[in-house]
Structure 1
Amino acid sequence: MRILITGATGYIGKRLIPILLNEGHNLICTVRDIARVEHLYPQEKNIEYIEADFLKADSLDSIPLNFDTAFYLIHSMTNSAKEFHELEERCAHNFKNALEKTAVKQVIYLSGITNDTKLSKHLLSRKNV
């Protein structure tokens, strides 16, 4: 299967990539800075990195059109609750718009939302998306 992974350098992404490679999948990993990852799997032929910043819609043109599944593992970090909401919303909106141009069949969206009524500003920003 051909899989797009956003947030490839994050906590979940770093742990998911070796599992998917071990299962024989072809991975397209989006990163904001390709220099941070080029050395990670130098001998691996089933992994491709592309620079993309989901806060900037014009940086997403390099996303291929043909893949089966997309993992949304993007998680914005900031000190302001207002900024959390704005950043999360912009990333999700740009992700959705970019994927509408592709042949993706499945999207897996990672969220930390619980049924708890008290959410941190961080998790509240995810709920709003």
Structure 2
Amino acid sequence: MKILLTGANGYIGMRLLPQLLEMGHEIVCAVRDESRLSVDKEIRSNIQIIEIDFLEEPKENIVPKDIDAAYFLIHSMSSSTQDFDDMEAKTAVNFNKYVNNTNIKQVIYLSGIVNDEKLSKHLRSRKNVEDILYQGKYNLTVLRAGIIVGSGSSSFEIIRDLCEKLPVMITPKWVLTKTQPIAIRDVVAFLTGVL
């Protein structure tokens, strides 16, 4: 299968890419800056790389027409700006513009757990992206995950640092959000399993 992998340079994308290659898929990595894609020479020689900034309006469609499926792993949480939700919505709209002119059959989106009426800004943004992706001309598979636990993930590193530095912590009353952590290996297994 020919697969478009967005967010290939991110925490999930970097772990998903070798698995997809091992499964025999042809991978097209969509990245903003090819020089920042930190993969070894062997992986680089087995993938196609296209530079796309999904925050910018598409000028020309450089996504191959014969794409079968795509992973939407784009988020703007690491951005220092407060309007990350607008940025995430724009990336989803532009993603649809790119792939609606291809033969794509399935898009897989890794979202957050959005099963409550009152959501944080972060989770509202994830749900909004999901709603935008549902407008695409493809079948959308949405996987929802809480904190993804694995060495190198920002959530894991924050929790580890807090535990090492503050073995006992008093928190404000508003810190009541329960979570359902999941291991990165399991996330990758689910992402490849639903393809």
Q: Note the C-alpha offset of 1:60.
A: 6.0
What's the counterpart of residue 41 of structure 2?
42
Number of corresponding residues? 126
Contact 1:25/1:46 (<8 A) preserved: no
1:1-80 matches, within 5 Å, as 1-37=1-37, 40-44=39-43, 45-58=45-58, 61-77=61-77, 78=79, 79-80=81-82
Aligned 8 A contact 2:2 2:68 in 1:
yes
2:54 partner amino acid: F
Aligned Cα root-mean-square deviation (Å): 1.7
Unpaired segments ≥5 residues, structure 1: none
Task: Write the distance in 1 (CA, Å) between the matches of 2:40 and 2:126.
Answer: 31
Percent identity, please.
52
Identify unmatched segments of 5+ residues in structure 2.
130-195
Distance 1:16 1:60, change over 3 A: farther
Q: Which has the larger radius of gyration?
A: 2
Alpha-carbon offset, residue 53 of structure 1: 0.6
Deviation at 1:76, TM superposition (A): 1.1
Q: Could you give the per-residue CA deviations for residues 46-79 of structure 1, whole angstroms, max 9, x where no partner exists? A: 3111110100123662211111111100011334
CA shift in 2, pair 1:59/1:13, >3 Å: farther
* Contact kept in structure 1, 2:76 and 2:85, CA below 8 Å: no
Q: For residues 40 and 59 of structure 1, what CA distance do their matches in structure 2 show? A: 28
TM-score, normalised to structure 1's length? Answer: 0.87
TM-score normalised by length of structure 2: 0.60
Please say if 1:107 is aligned against 2:84: no
Q: Which structure exhibits the higher relative contact order, with contacts defined as CA atoms closer than 8 Å and separated by 6 or more residues?
A: 1
Flag the 1:10–1:64 CA change in 2: closer, same or farther, 3 A: same
Contact 1:67/1:103 (8 A) holds in 2: yes
Q: Secondary structure of 2:64's partner?
A: coil
Q: Which runs of 4+ in 1 moved over 4 A?
A: none
Please give the alpha-carbon distance, in whole angstroms, between the structure 2 residues aligned to 1:60 and 1:42: 29
After TM superposition, the structure 1 stretch with the greater mean CA deviation from structure 2, 47-56 or 117-126, is 117-126
- Whichever residue aligns with residue 21 of structure 1, its letter is L
